[in-house]
């Protein structure tokens, strides 16, 4: 490679990066507070949401004795800082409202985000994680998640697309559960009939792609539901790949977001939650 071309390449990349970050910040998704996640790499510092701002504390009396908390896994991410918080907290809140109407479940009506390396995560046997294409867990998070899953916790994965993001997620989950394979979950699995009968796996597009045209992102053309089962055949992790279920909750009220996507997203999530709570 010639030096001039190399310098140009680096310059272009740096410009693109700065523009992207500025855009994201300007969009108001991030607050400019830097906080360390994880304990293994002190130098690894990234900005995240102030948790005290967005996460309900369980000292709140209304959270006492609630059966179900829609809990987001807070994990360390790579270039997309705080990718765990995508669609947060609107998606969570909208989904919880609908969940409360559809299922006779004593669920806490607010969002709940817990770090994977926080022992309190074991208080919440259901976890939702998304954008795992950019997940880079610390060792403490890997251990926390592994113990969580082996103790009986359940993890729902959503909103990651294409080969590259799959490869990243696969390598991350291999760190957590190296001994358990990822397998396809066939449509005749009980999880698709727990409350609603799901007859096909729908590719749920993000709000940006929901207006028509393509529903896929990157090279994630075909939606898939995969899983990781423990030694007893119990489902520990359900992986919704090449689909964005979270966006369908978040924009369920939008007249521009097709209702059938939201319907599917809500139905399959209700099934997953009820299944996770009973199997």
Site for other proteins in 191-230 (CB under 8 A): 194-195
Interface with other proteins, residue 278, by CB under 8 A:
yes
216 phi, psi to nearest 5 deg: -90, 165
Least separation in angstroms between CB 105 and other proteins: 5
Site for other proteins in 118-177 (CB under 8 A): 119-123, 125, 147, 150-153
Stretch that binds other proteins, among 31-39, 100-108, 206-214, 215-223 (CB under 8 A): 100-108
d(CA 121, CA 14): 37
Interface with other proteins, residue 15, by CB under 8 A:
no
- Answer for which of 98, 105, 187, 207 binds other proteins (CB under 8 A) is 105
Of 153 and 205, nearer to other proteins (C-beta) is 153
Interface with other proteins, residue 274, by CB under 8 A:
yes
Least separation in angstroms between CB 119 and other proteins: 3
Least separation in angstroms between CB 207 and other proteins: 29
Stretch that binds other proteins, among 6-14, 28-36, 80-88, 96-104 (CB under 8 A): 96-104
- Name the strand (E) or helix (H) holding 184: strand 182-184
Least separation in angstroms between CB 127 and other proteins: 12
Stretch that binds other proteins, among 59-67, 108-116, 129-137, 255-263 (CB under 8 A): 59-67
Stretch that binds other proteins, among 71-79, 240-248, 261-269, 270-278 (CB under 8 A): 270-278
Stretch that binds other proteins, among 60-68, 71-79, 181-189, 252-260 (CB under 8 A): 60-68
CB 242 within 8 A of CB 224: yes
Least separation in angstroms between CB 151 and other proteins: 5
Peptide bond just before 174 cis, omega within 30 deg: no
CB 37 within 8 A of CB 25: no
d(CA 71, CA 146): 17
CB 115 within 8 A of CB 124: no
3-state secondary structure of 24: helix
Least separation in angstroms between CB 71 and other proteins: 12
170 phi, psi to nearest 5 deg: -60, -40
Of 89 and 153, nearer to other proteins (C-beta) is 153
Return the half-sphere exposure (C-beta side, CA atoms, 13 A cut-off) of residue 188: 0
Gyration radius (Cα) of the chain, Å: 19
Residues whose CB is less than 8 angstroms from the CB of residue 228 and which lie 6 or more positions away in sequence, other chains included: 173, 177, 180, 181, 182, 183, 235, 236, 237, 239
Of 35 and 120, nearer to other proteins (C-beta) is 120
Peptide bond just before 235 cis, omega within 30 deg: no
CB 19 within 8 A of CB 51: no
**Positions in the binding site for other proteins (CB under 8 A):** 61, 64-65, 67-68, 102-106, 119-123, 125, 147, 150-153, 194-195, 232, 234, 273-274, 276-279
């Amino acid at each position: 490679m010639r030096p001039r071309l190399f310098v140009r390449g680096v310059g272009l990349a740096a410009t693109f990066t700065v523009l992207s970050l500025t855009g994201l910040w300007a969009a108001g998704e991030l607050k400019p507070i830097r906080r360390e996640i994880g304990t293994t790499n002190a130098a690894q510092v990234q900005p995240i949401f102030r948790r005290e701002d967005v996460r309900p504390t369980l000292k709140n009396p209304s959270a006492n004795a609630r059966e179900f908390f829609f809990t987001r896994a807070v994990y360390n991410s790579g270039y997309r800082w705080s990718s765990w918080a995508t669609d947060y907290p609107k998606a969570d809140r909208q989904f919880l409202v609908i969940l409360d109407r559809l299922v006779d479940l004593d669920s806490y009506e607010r969002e709940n985000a817990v770090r994977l390396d926080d022992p309190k995560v074991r208080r919440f046997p259901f976890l939702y994680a998304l954008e795992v294409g950019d997940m880079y867990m610390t060792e403490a998070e890997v251990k926390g998640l592994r113990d969580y899953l082996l103790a009986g916790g359940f993890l729902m994965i959503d909103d990651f697309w294409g080969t590259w993001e799959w490869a990243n997620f696969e390598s991350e989950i291999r760190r957590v559960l190296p001994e358990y394979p990822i397998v396809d979950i066939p449509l005749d699995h009980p999880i698709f009939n727990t409350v609603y009968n799901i007859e096909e796996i729908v590719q749920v597009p993000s709000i940006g792609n929901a207006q028509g045209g393509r529903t896929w992102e990157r090279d994630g053309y075909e939606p898939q539901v995969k899983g990781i089962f423990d030694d007893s055949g119990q489902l520990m992790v359900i992986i919704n790949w090449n689909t964005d279920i979270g966006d369908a909750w978040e924009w369920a009220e939008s007249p521009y977001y097709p209702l059938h996507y939201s319907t599917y997203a809500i139905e399959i999530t209700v099934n997953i939650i009820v299944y996770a709570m009973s199997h």
